[in-house]
Chains A and B, each alone.
Chain A
Amino acid sequence: EIVLTQSPGTLSLSPGESATLSCRASQSARIGDLAWYQQRPGQAPRLLIYGTSRRATGIPDRFSGTVSGTDFTLTISRLEPEDFAVYYCHQYGDSKYTFGQGTKLEIK
Chain B
Amino acid sequence: EVQLVESGGGLVQPGGSLRLSCAASGFSFSNYYMHWARQAPGKGLEWVSHINTVGSATTYADSVRGRFIISRDNAADTLYLEMSSLRAEDTAVYYCVREPTGTGMYFFDYWGQGTLITVSS
Contact = CB atoms under 8 A, between A and B. Distances in A.
A99 B60 CA distance: 14
Contacts of A99: 44-47
B95 A44 contact: yes
Say whether chain A's binding surface is mostly helix, strand, loop, or mixed.
strand
A102 B105 contact: no
A88 interface: yes
Interface residues of B, number: 21
A32 B105 contact: yes
A97 B106 contact: yes
A101 B103 CA distance: 26
A95 B113 CA distance: 25
Nearest to B35: A97
Interface in B26-47: 35, 44-47
A45 interface: yes
Select the residue from B59, B107, B108, B109 with max chain A CB neighbours within 10 A: B107
Contacts of B113: 43-44
B50 interface: yes
Contacts of A56: 109
A92 B106 contact: yes
B40 to A, nearest CB: 12
Contact of A97 (B44, B50, B95): B50
B44 A50 contact: no
Given A44-B113, A45-B111, A47-B108, 11 more contacts: A32-B105, A33-B105, A35-B105, A44-B112, A45-B95, A45-B108, A50-B107, A90-B108, A96-B47, A99-B46, A101-B44
CB-CB nearest 4 A-B residue pairs? A92-B106, A35-B107, A50-B107, A97-B47
